Amino acid sequence: MTETTRRTGGHEYEHPQGTPAPPYAAPHAADVHPEWPPPPAHAPTAGTGRRRKRPGGPVTLLAAVALVAAAVGGGTAYAFQQLTGHDTTATDTATPVVAAGKKGDVANIAAALTPSVVEVNATLASGSSTGSGVIVSSAGEIVTNNHVVSGASSVKVRTSDGTSRTARVVGTDSSKDLALLRVEGASGLKAAPLGTSSGVQVGDTVVAIGSPEGLTSTVTSGIVSALDRDVTVSTDEGRSGQGQGGDEQWPFQFGGREFNGDTGSSTTTYKAIQTDASLNPGNSGGALIDASGRVIGINSAMYSSGSQAASSTDAGSIGLGFAIPVDTVKADLAKLRAGSTS
């Protein structure tokens, strides 16, 4: 696991008043979120026969947009979302946020996704835990690892602009090492586009963003080293978020061996994406991103050879990190939003 622990002591489209709404009205280009496809180039062709007068008003407009949205999706669906005032959610689209000509450009990926990754600080009975989280809705929903917030009495998140906000734990799933937070009173936050992990291949370029050792918005890069790795982590609330032997490295099992300490007897195993992008304590819950700027995983564990007795040259990431596939995350979101605390 890769969070850091510090122990205690140390605009809507409107028609002029009284004007009937047309059967279709494309939103102004400026109203469409850049992550969504543009609206249709032409309005639907009018049918033949006698033209009937239609009543104006927002209900007619919403009905017309909703019908077209069901047919074409994309930008029109987003316009309907805006008209009804629903929050923008990352799972609504997997549209790349990096231009095709900039695919794989780490600087562009970092610029696009850094505002969607936060630092997570949890207050525990025995001290504090620092990890990372990924914003998945503009209303302030944030996905992180369960082990980052397990047993927390309070949680704060810090966005890339340095703003600190209070958050609450909405739901947890220790079997998948996932948790959902919600920032109180938040609006307008930038949700990360969630891609798909089913098409990920070994050798794909990836970028990791998180807060190792509390260093907010740290960016590293690498490749996918392997897929479907069985990683085992602790589900014991008393053990999650606790460093072993004081070295602040988080225990997990892989390949029949234990790393970074003892995971204890209460554990869970999940299939992970292995990466050589540098991960360090505090990266837990951060984003693993593909070359098009879509989140494909939630970073969850890393192996470090460092210990109290090891020299500084031996400590830190050695390019052996693991991430929970984003398809697992998306499948679990409804459960987390419902307030499950398994």
Question: What is the distance between the alpha carbons of residues 44 and 64, in angstroms, rounded to a whole number?
Answer: 11
Alpha carbon distances (Å) from 71 to 40, 125, 317: 11, 53, 49
Alpha carbon distances (Å) from 302 to 117, 136, 143, 213: 19, 23, 18, 13
305-333 tens-digit pLDDT: 654 333 334 455 678 899 999 999 999 99
Span between the terminal Cα atoms of the chain, in Å: 19
Lowest mean pLDDT among 48-57, 81-90, 241-250: 241-250
Question: What is the distance between the alpha carbons of residues 248 and 231, in angstroms, rounded to a whole number?
Answer: 19
Residue 107 near residue 98, CB atoms below 8 Å: no
* Sequence-distant contacts of 103-111: CB under 8 A, at least 24 apart: 103/291, 103/292, 104/205, 104/291, 106/207, 106/219, 106/221, 108/293, 109/207, 109/289, 109/291, 109/293, 110/207, 110/209, 110/219
Question: What is the distance between the alpha carbons of residues 205 and 185, in angstroms, rounded to a whole number?
Answer: 36
Residue 71: pLDDT band by 50, 70, 90 thresholds?
A: very low
* pLDDT of amino acid 1: 61
Collapse the DSSP code of 72 into the 3-class scheme (helix H, G, I; strand E, B; otherwise coil) and give the result. helix
* pLDDT of amino acid 80: 33
- Amino acid type, 174: S
Residue 179 near residue 142, CB atoms below 8 Å: no
Question: What is the distance between the alpha carbons of residues 162 and 211, in angstroms, rounded to a whole number?
Answer: 12
Average confidence score pLDDT of the chain: 75
* pLDDT of amino acid 172: 96
Give strand ranges (E) for the chain. 4-7, 117-124, 127-135, 141-144, 154-158, 164-173, 178-183, 205-210, 218-234, 252-254, 257-259, 267-275, 287-289, 295-304, 317-325
Collapse the DSSP code of 76 into the 3-class scheme (helix H, G, I; strand E, B; otherwise coil) and give the result. helix
Rounded mean pLDDT of 21-46? 44
For tokens 């909405």, the residue is 170
Statement: the pTM of the whole predicted model exceeds 0.85: no
* pLDDT of amino acid 3: 60
Asked whether residue 198 carries a pLDDT value surpassing 50, the answer given is yes
125-153 tens-digit pLDDT: 888 889 999 999 999 999 999 989 988 99
Pairing of strands 127-135, 4-7: antiparallel
* pLDDT of amino acid 161: 92
* pLDDT of amino acid 265: 67
> Higher pLDDT residue, 317 or 14?
317
pLDDT cut 70: percent of the chain above it: 59
What is residue 58's DSSP assignment?
H
Rounded mean pLDDT of 104-126? 94
* pLDDT of amino acid 318: 74
Catalytic residue set: 147, 177, 284
Question: What is the distance between the alpha carbons of residues 218 and 200, in angstroms, rounded to a whole number?
Answer: 23
Rounded mean pLDDT of 225-253? 63
Phi, psi torsion values for 305, nearest 5 degrees: -85, -5
